[in-house]
């Protein structure tokens, strides 16, 4: 049932790919990424198209087959066009600002929360309540967005917290008073 692994990956003209045994290195206008691929998987480059193949027909090789193809595809997309995650702060007094290499969040606690911005990540704060995270590594962008969201996840009664853009919070009815 492996279908994703069979799809070839088209490499844009502004991206360079190097395959050395089990290490694939992809560089483009936005950055340079490399990843070690399992021995169960082989990667071949021909005519600006990357092919991923299984070396064995085992369960683990099947699992790594689609995963490896997706990771390589994300690397190609990331160095050619960056990934982006948008967060929104909802709540009275919730705001964000940039100071040096830190993102400062005021989320209703008695203290501000400082988050160090990793190398290769750009953060834009819009109107103190919108945070746009961009970067060429999808894993780092997603992890940073999840870390920021975990500082004050949205709650179902008032809808306050840090939300992904477009996220809909199912609201609950509070206690009914007599």
Q: What is the pLDDT of residue 173?
A: 87
Residue 127 lies in a domain: yes
Range of the domain at 156: 83-164
Same domain, 70 and 89: no
Q: What is the mean pLDDT of residues 85-112?
A: 92
Number of compact structural domains in the chain: 2
The average confidence (pLDDT) of the chain is: 90
pLDDT band at 116 (very low <50, low <70, confident <90, very high): very high
For the chain, what percent of residues have pLDDT higher than 90?
53
Same domain, 121 and 150: yes
* pLDDT tens digits, 74-83: 999 999 999 9
Residue 110 lies in a domain: yes
- Going by the DSSP 8-state scheme, the letter that residue 129 receives in this structure is T
- Predicted model pTM: 0.85
| Confidence check: pLDDT of 1 > 70 | no
Which residues, including other chains, have CB under 8 Å from residue 131's CB and lie 6 or more apart? 86, 87, 88, 89, 96, 103, 123, 124, 125, 148
Same domain, 58 and 122: no
Q: What is the pLDDT of residue 115?
A: 93
């Amino acid at each position: 049932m492996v279908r994703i692994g069979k799809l070839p990956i088209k490499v844009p003209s502004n991206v360079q790919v190097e395959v050395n045994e089990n290490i694939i290195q992809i560089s483009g206008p936005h950055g340079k990424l490399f990843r070690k691929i399992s021995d169960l998987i082989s990667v071949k480059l021909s005519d600006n198209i990357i092919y991923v193949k299984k070396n064995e027909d085992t369960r683990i090789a099947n699992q790594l087959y689609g995963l490896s193809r997706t990771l390589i595809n994300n690397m190609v997309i990331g160095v050619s066009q960056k990934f982006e995650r948008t967060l929104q702060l909802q709540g009275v007094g919730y705001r964000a600002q940039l100071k040096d290499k830190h993102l400062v969040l005021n989320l209703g606690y008695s203290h501000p929360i400082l988050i160090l911005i990793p190398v290769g990540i750009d953060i834009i704060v819009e109107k103190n309540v919108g945070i746009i995270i961009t970067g060429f590594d999808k894993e780092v962008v997603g992890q940073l967005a999840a870390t920021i969201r975990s500082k004050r996840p949205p709650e179902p009664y008032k809808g306050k917290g840090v939300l992904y853009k477009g996220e809909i919070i199912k609201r609950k009815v509070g206690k009914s008073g007599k």
